[in-house]
Amino acid sequence: MRAVRFHDHGGPDVLQVDEVERPEPADDEVLVEVHAAGVNPVDTYFREGSYEPFTLPMTPGIDFAGEVVVVGEGVEGFEDGDRVYGTGIGRSHQGSYAEYATVPTEYLVALPDGVDATEAGAAGVVAATAWRALVDHAGLEPGETCLVHGGSGGVGHVAVQIAAAAGAHVVTTASPGYRDRLTDLGADVVLDYSEENLADAVCEAASDRPGATGGVDVILDHRLDDYLQFDAEVAATGARVVGIGENDPQVGFEHDGVARSKDVSYQFMSMFNTPDLGVALRRLAYLMDEGELTVDVAREYDLDEAGEAQRAVLEDSFFGKLVLSP
């Protein structure tokens, strides 16, 4: 089979397509014929060495969707021919940038017939992260105001939809060119992230509705090093801020008095710590099947273009996700 691999750490040019033997699943695994594999920034971290892969050479790829072709001897609940999707491989197992991948059953669920495989292949990391942040950690409730930083990104555009489906008043930031698409996905207010008085605009958007609490109740932040203090300023009393990433690991307050005065709680999270990925994946599959959740695919690439895809995921501006289609 064909598989993208890196034999040493480095830039996107270290990725190459190798001919390798098709793997056999362990007792608790299934072999999936990969139809689509999402391209995520985390994939590049293993390749360039800031996250250490379990072995070299290594096939990257956390997300996948496809069809079960071989079932391990101890597996129950899956059969040959089942459509599946999931996330979480690519760090302790060879990843999904390949024609086939072995997947432990805890990392995948059945994919409804009505859900497009390419969309599902792009969903895993971003959808599970958004669900974990807003539902598990923040406990977002109907009628609350939810601020999603970076609504045009992978996690951001899914989070907008989850928040809208939960009945929240959704405020998000993005480039002006993405305003209409985010409105279509359920955002009530879309603000230009470069706006000079952005904090005032967020507070106005949060207050301009019945039952407003005088600030934002839940904030999903993908750049805490830039917005930690900002989040405290726009937060309502008792707000919950969930941080899913930052550019600089040295995150801290310039002045933490505002956060203290409002009893703001901060949750730092990683999708990889989700105790049961299957719960989130099944509920997200239901939302996709019902048309309540769409994962926008900006571009598709062949396996031979994996290096370009990994460059683009870090450097280019686009709405939604990038996908490899083996």
Domains of the chain: 2-111+296-324 (3.90.180.10), 125-272 (3.40.50.720)
Spatial CB neighbours of 257, under 8 Å, sequence gap ≥ 6: none
Predicted confidence at residue 66, as pLDDT, reads: 98
Residue type, 50: S
Instruction: Please give the chain's pLDDT, 326 residues, in tens.
Output: 999 999 999 999 999 999 999 999 999 999 999 999 999 999 999 999 988 899 999 999 999 999 999 999 999 999 999 999 999 999 889 999 999 999 999 999 999 999 999 999 999 999 999 999 999 999 999 999 999 999 999 999 999 999 999 999 999 999 999 999 999 999 999 999 889 899 999 999 998 776 666 799 999 998 888 888 899 999 999 999 999 975 555 555 565 656 556 677 888 898 888 999 999 999 999 999 999 999 999 999 999 999 999 999 999 999 999 999 99
Q: Under a CB-based contact definition with an 8 Å cutoff, are residues 30 and 105 in contact?
A: yes
pLDDT at residue number 264: 77
Residues 6+ apart with CB under 8 A from 190: 151, 171, 172, 173, 174, 178, 179, 182, 183
Provide the pLDDT for residue 214.
74
pLDDT on residue 213: 65
d(CA 158, CA 249): 25
Structure tokens at 46: 């293993």
Instruction: Supply the pLDDT for residue 237.
Output: 92
Residue 182 belongs to what H/E stretch?
Answer: helix 179-184
39 sits in which H/E element: strand 29-39
27 Rama class: left (phi>0) / alpha (psi -120 to 50) / beta: alpha
Neighbour tally for 7: CB within 10 Å: 12
CA–CA separation, 29 vs 259, rounded Å?
A: 46
Alpha carbon distance 175, 243 (integer Å): 21
In angstroms, the CA 98 to CA 63 distance is 11
How far apart, in whole angstroms, are the C-alpha atoms of residue 184 and residue 186? 6
- Positive or negative, the CA dihedral 183, 187, 191, 192 is negative
Round to whole Å and give the CA distance between 132 and 138.
Answer: 8
